[in-house]
Structure 1
Amino acid sequence: MNTFEAQQQGRPTGPLVRGYEVIIGFETHAQLSTASKIFSRASTAFGAEPNTQACAVDLALPGTLPVMNKGAVERAIKLGLALGSHIAPRSVFARKNYFYPDLPKGYQISQFEIPVVQGGAVSFFLGEEKKTVRLVRAHLEEDAGKSLHEDFIGQSGIDLNRAGTPLLEIVTEPDMRSTAEAVAYAKELHKIVTWIGICDGNMQEGSFRCDANVSVRKPGDKLGTRREIKNLNSFKFMQQAIDYEINSQIDELEEGRAIEQATVLFDPATGETRTMRTKEDAADYRYFPDPDLPPLVVAAEWIERVRATMPELPRATAERYVRDHGLSEYDAAQLTQGAALAQYFDDAVNAGAAPKLASNWITGEMARRLNAAEIGIEAAPVKAAQLAQLVTRIADGTLPNNAARQVFEALWSGEGSDVDAIIEAKDLKPMNDAGALDKILDEVIAKNAKNVEEYRGGKEKALNGLVGQVMKASGGKANPAQVTELLKAKLG
């Protein structure tokens, strides 16, 4: 039994697919948020004209030597601290040898035997169940260039702007047992690397790319042959690709054919994976220590300096929301989907908003608007202080929900910027005239005899219809709680 198999003995099984157990491991490439490349001063800015950001060092021209980017190392340390990993005091760079048009050196500088980040784990909730995926390592390496295929003219080109861009490759144990678990892991890791600021997480630009190793086996059998799905750059495609690969492998086994170890690509147009190349093993790359780079030494003092700059981590923030603000674990998890969202909530509460009401509006109306506009909370037209003012007016009885939505719409559209001024301009102040409200109540009771009879007959829901009619007649200005109590009193 090899080490890989031994690690799986006793690991929990997940839901079977057509009688097979699914085993998934991940390799994620997170592009580090440095301004320059890992071994040179060339820019890492996205979108530049092809081959304008590849310097002599990136191309390994004669006489050039790589120099380690300190910022890349610090970002690796941050990830290790966030995930409870061991940060190696001494790690080594190696040359990974393979030949491809967009690899100008003929080798990639990476880490092999001794990576800078070792072990650790990523924990997350899948529904109500807490899951933990163990990490093998996270190692620093440089990116390759990019091949551009212009099918309409039948030519290919090479853009070396990306060559030398700093990457942190994060490798898991094969601990995931379902597609849902794999996607949840990837989302949690994405949240962590963006939260601590080491990666911008832009999947469309290739800043966060996932490779999924997928295999299937009958429960109790030895591990099956794994196939690697490369460069999954959206969570939607990730789910589709893994599901397809699982069923494709099961089909092969059911028809009596062996699974061939290979690297495959997912085609969103067809929803299928296709073989890119047969899978290499480590020996195929002929790793050896890079003679141009000395060992990377990370002193304990350096780790502590980086630790002092670390933000509060998502899980700790969620626990604080539950403890200090009385939010449910679900609400706290929703508010910690990103650092900017959590900061928005904190800013609203610090500006005087009732935490539960603020949470409801942020995860409800605000989330709906952001999704429709396809923007993040950073670009929301309604600022945290404005939401706090709105929530305060709801809490003190100035704004019923219907009127509050009108104020939110005015803030969102830029019709106004001050909540009180909008309330005044739109005449949204609550109805304080007891005589006028009493008259409306009497009219609604007189016109809705059936609801009145049903309520008096014990149907509590019938009262909701009466409340709705009063709110409509008052133009939304009446206080629903007050209306409910007054109706109950009038109806005995």
Structure 2
Amino acid sequence: MSKNKLVQGYEVVIGFETHAQLSTQSKIFSRAPTAFGAEPNTQACAVDLALPGTLPVMNKGAVERAIEFGLAIGSHISPRSIFARKNYFYPDLPKGYQISQFEIPVVVGGQVEFFLGDEKKTVRLVRAHLEEDAGKSLHEDFIGQSGIDLNRAGTPLLEIVTEPDIRSSEEAVAYAKELHKIVTWIGICDGNMQEGSFRCDANVSVRRPGEPLGTRREIKNLNSFKFMQQAIDYEVRWQIEQIEDGHAIQQATVLFDPDTGETRAMRTKEDAADYRYFPDPDLPPLVIADEWVQRVKAAMTELPRTMAARFVADYGLPEYDATTLTQSKAMAAYFEAAAKACGQAKLVSNWVMGELSRRLNSGEVSIESAPVSAAQLAALITRIADGTISNNAAKQVFEALWSGEASDVDAVIEAKGLKQMNDSGALEKIIDEVIAANADNVAQYKAGKEKAFNALVGQIMKASKGKANPGQVNELLKQKLA
């Protein structure tokens, strides 16, 4: 039973199907290019058009990218998988069928782990299979005509299918973001949702707790995380209203309209039997030897989950910090460069996840273009750690660096007079003066009122113009009041 809060007494059940366009230069069964944005029908060859006498030939690069994905999420790589014909009629499908995989996919099982807030979640995968994309229908409303662009026909896709493990729209978005991170991190997909390189379909149903799974409706082609959450939330509300009004949910494919914020039925949803799958006679079974898998594995970059585990082991970070810092290669590299330079990994983590991320988000700046470099942040944190400046002063230094006012941490500290007062003699003199001038607070503290101690600290910080080291102030004041 999910720990997620029920929606009006119903449990939400969501499964995902994601089409990741693989980053090959040519199509899955032909040598035609896959570049985005070409003039319509300039990147479709005779194989893509299924002209008589043509035969498909498997793209080795597409297979290797599927293997990489399976290794990245702990799946089983099938040593032998089959390509099948998925039969259906649509104007943008020139062959009258799509070459896909059905009974034996190339990737089986695996899981995707992520955090939703500070709670760790796991979504199990059923499979990931290779297939070709269809073309695209273009509707010219102003002239009342439609056309077909077959540039995408034959583009290699990896369809990634989950178990119905997701229980809320927030969890769905978190899963999709984690999957997006994985495929872009390992370089098998550019992840461009606007160009259709990463397309998500959400199968949404609701049920009373403990009841069998409800009838699902599939929301197609969600091309942004924002619209994904809006679409699922609307669909959940709509299904609950239908059930409460005594109507049965009909299995269907629906589209989300961002302008109205509503989903609308496009067609009744087909089942596998409707597609009349059968093995493609033009393609032999795909055989993947273990040696091939090992070669792919040896060439792969360090995976985000592996890097996160290393950050925990090597730098002593909490798992949440390590997972957050490995959301992108650039952020992970920034953190590690700063942590190595100053030896204060947790402080670096706090600043990267806190002040730096806040500035990046508010300014819509990528971490690669951050005005404050990893080396500058490391220098700043070194001055916090050695007591030269306080945290409040450090924010002033960070602001100067970010705005381009200065580039050297120590120069900013000197110019702005931000050094903490670490001279115990001078600090003791201020403390003695504050104690003498605040006899009432001293008496209250000795009577057990902790707030009186904080009031004394505040007076000391004020008298030192904020330059006293707070830790040193607390220690000396307690000694004098003991």
Partner of 2:397: 407
Match of 1:418 among 401, 408, 418: 408
Partner residue of 2:349? 359
Q: CA deviation at 1:263?
A: 0.1
Bigger shift: 57-66 or 433-442? 433-442
Matched, 1:331 2:321: yes
Amino acid at match of 2:320: Y
Pairing 1:375-394 to 2, within 5 Å after superposition: 375-394=365-384
Unmatched runs of 5 consecutive residues or more in structure 2: none
Distance 1:453 1:53 in 2: 85
1: CA distance, partners of 2:448 / 2:139: 72
Q: Give the match for residue 6 of structure 1.
A: none
Deviation of 1:72 (Å):
1.4
1:302 to 292, 301, 309: 292
Of 129, 146, 167, the residue aligned with 1:139 is 129
Distance apart, 1:337 and its partner CA: 2.4
Secondary structure of residue in 2 paired with 1:202: coil
* SS of equivalent to 1:308: helix
Change (3 A) 1:433 1:249: closer
The one-character-per-residue Cα deviations of 1:364-383 (angstroms, maximum 9, x if unpaired) are 10111111122332332222
Task: After TM superposition, give the deviation of residue 420 of structure 1 in Å.
Answer: 2.8
Say if 1:402 and 1:476, in contact at 8 Å, map to a contact too.
no
Q: Are 2:22 and 2:158, in contact at CA under 8 Å, matched by a contact in 1?
A: yes
8 A contact 1:111–1:139 mirrored in 2: yes
User: What secondary structure is seen at the aligned counterpart in 2 of 1:351?
Assistant: helix
Residue identity opposite 1:162 in structure 2: R
Counterpart of 2:58 in 1: which secondary structure?
Answer: coil
* Secondary structure of the structure 2 residue equivalent to 1:25: strand
Q: 1:123 to 1:401 in 2, by over 3 A?
A: closer
Q: 1:276 to 1:480 in 2, by over 3 A?
A: same
1:388 CA drift (Å): 1.5
Please, which of 321, 338, 362 is the counterpart of residue 348 of structure 1?
338
Q: Trace 1:192-211 onto structure 2 (pairs within 5 A).
A: 192-211=182-201
After superposition, what is the alpha-carbon deviation per residue over 1:270-306, rounded to whole angstroms, capped at 9, x for unaligned? Answer: 2221001111122322333333333222111000011
Q: Which one of 222, 226, 235 corresponds to residue 245 of structure 1?
A: 235
The answer to whether 1:212 aligns with 2:191 is no
The 2-side partners of 1:381 and 1:279 are apart by 50
TM-score relative to the length of structure 1: 0.87
Match of residue 29, structure 1, among 19, 23, 40: 19
* Aligned mates of 1:183, 1:162 — CA distance in 2: 26
Q: How many residues are treated as equivalent by the alignment?
A: 482
**2: CA distance between counterparts of 1:25 and 1:446?**
69
Cα distance in 2 between the residues matched to 1:257 and 1:290: 41
Q: TM-score, normalised by structure 2?
A: 0.88
CA RMSD of superposed structures (Å): 3.0
Find 2:359's aligned residue among 357, 360, 369: 369
Residue aligned with 2:299, SS? coil
Please report how far the alpha carbon of residue 404 of structure 1 lies from its aligned counterpart in structure 2 after TM superposition: 1.4
Contact between 1:138 and 1:171, CA under 8 Å: does it hold in 2? yes
The sequence identity of aligned pairs, in percent, is: 79
- Look up the SS of the partner of 1:101 in the other structure: coil
Pick closer, same or farther for the CA change 1:49–1:468 going to 2, 3 Å.
farther
Name the CA shift for 1:164/1:417 in 2 (closer, same or farther; >3 Å). Answer: farther
Q: How far did 1:33 drift? A: 2.3
The structure-2 alpha-carbon separation of the partners of 1:217 and 1:453, relative to structure 1 and needing over 3 Å to count, comes to same
SS of the equivalent of 1:316 reads: helix
CA 1:462–1:57 in 2, change beyond 3 Å: closer, same or farther? Answer: farther
Q: Indicate if the aligned counterparts of 2:10 and 2:209 stay in contact, CA closer than 8 A.
A: yes
* Whole-angstrom distance in 2 between the partners of 1:413 and 1:39: 51
For residues 15 and 263 of structure 2, what CA distance do their matches in structure 1 show?
17
1:194 Cα deviation from its structure 2 partner: 2.5
Structure 1: stretches of 5+ with no match in the other structure:
1-10
**Counterpart in 2 of 1:167?**
157
Letter in 2 for 1:416: A
1:266-345 maps to which residues of 2 (within 5 A)? 266-345=256-335
* Superposition map of 1:399-478 within 5 A: 399-431=389-421, 437=427, 455=445, 458-468=448-458, 470-471=460-461, 474=464, 476-478=466-468
**Whole-angstrom CA distance in 1 between matches of 2:51 and 2:404:** 55
